[in-house]
Chain A
């Protein structure tokens, strides 16, 4: 490929190749403080389906070690999103070392709060705002559980903020480094936020899971304990590689739900969501 970037994010090293300069330039700018892997674990390719589509209505197809056939391409203006989606795709399909949970996570005193939920539940927004309040961001998309130790490993890629969350995060982090606004993506408007210096410096430090939260945005404030069996089922649904890890995945997940308290929280707005997370964390950490 003509243009290449190398990135180390937590325990995962990426080599991202692109037919176009722009997505690589955006990555190099936003990930400029990240280390580079000696040997990448995952390959991402951003390519034109036909040579002339590099220039004529350029459309980015996402591939790499694994590809989803027939996935709709993205316009070149959303090249940064394509690169991020490409990295997520390779992690989701190719990660075998760690149990991968679709969750955001923050850390304090070596203890991690894991937040998982469907798209729109507020994982990224809560993680960004908790980072603004002094927590160490471990990741807004994936948490990696080591089956050997039960520890959570960070994957602090760019925080993907959508729609109203963009203004909320801008207000909370006036000094934050933000990527370009990407309007009209399949998930609405997207703007990326660079994790702060501490999140990047400490990305190789794992943390002990101490609280599991299942947030839901847009509901009356409420919370309830989640029994281990329900947490187990919800986390198997939130994991892209539980089945592939076989018994190691079973061990990692049973250990997690038996040792870590879990709560479902509903919140009507981000302020009350943050307050709820911090109160529950006080008790658990």
Chain B
């Protein structure tokens, strides 16, 4: 089972602005402007290593998810892995 972990907090600067959140990724020097559910995903991952299903369960518990779709979440996680904001273990 593939597991995911948020990039170490010291490598990210997360600044919520309004509807959107800024994430400065220190390793690449790239600024990401992200919408929900990205900040929520990073927060839900916290310091833990989670599978897609575990993360989905945690997000469902904390937020009103309209469509709890594991495939959509996996795709979103892969995008974050590409950006360096999440590590695939």
Contact = CB atoms under 8 A, between A and B. Distances in A.
Interface of A: 227-229, 232-233, 236, 243, 246-247, 250, 254, 257-258
Nearest to A255: B15
Contact of A233 (B13, B15, B33): B33
Chain A to chain B: the 5 pairs with minimum beta-carbon distance, closest first: A229-B20, A228-B17, A250-B24, A229-B17, A227-B18
B15 A254 contact: yes
Contact of B24 (A233, A247, A257): A247
Nearest to A246: B29
Given A243-B29, A247-B13, A250-B31, A229 B18 contact: yes
A229 B24 contact: no
A236 B22 contact: no
Contact of A229 (B13, B26, B29, B33): B33
A254 B19 contact: no
Contacts of B19: 227, 229
Given A227-B19, A232-B33, A236-B31, 16 more contacts: A227-B17, A227-B18, A229-B19, A229-B20, A229-B33, A232-B22, A247-B24, A247-B26, A247-B29, A250-B13, A250-B24, A254-B15, A254-B17, A254-B22, A257-B17, A258-B17
Interface of B: 13, 15, 17-20, 22, 24, 26, 29, 31, 33
Contacts of B31: 236, 250
Contacts of A228: 17-18
A236 to B, nearest CB: 7
Contacts of B24: 247, 250
Nearest to A250: B24
Nearest to A243: B29
26 contacts: A227-B18, A227-B19, A228-B18, A229-B17, A229-B18, A229-B19, A229-B33, A232-B17, A232-B22, A232-B33, A233-B33, A236-B31, A246-B29, A247-B13, A247-B24, A247-B26, A247-B29, A250-B13, A250-B22, A250-B31, A254-B15, A254-B17, A254-B22, A257-B17, A258-B15, A258-B17
Contacts of A229: 17-20, 22, 33
B85 to A, nearest CB: 15
B23 to A, nearest CB: 10
A112 to B, nearest CB: 21
A15 B88 CA distance: 52
A228 B13 CA distance: 17
Contacts of A250: 13, 22, 24, 31
A28 B69 CA distance: 68
Nearest to A254: B15
Contacts of A243: 29
A193 B44 CA distance: 57
B15 to A, nearest CB: 5
Contacts of A254: 15, 17, 22
Q: Which of B17, B20, B26 has the most CB of A within 10 A?
A: B17
A246 B29 CA distance: 6
A228 B15 CA distance: 11
Contacts of B20: 229
Nearest to B35: A229
Contacts of A233: 33
Contacts of B22: 229, 232, 250, 254
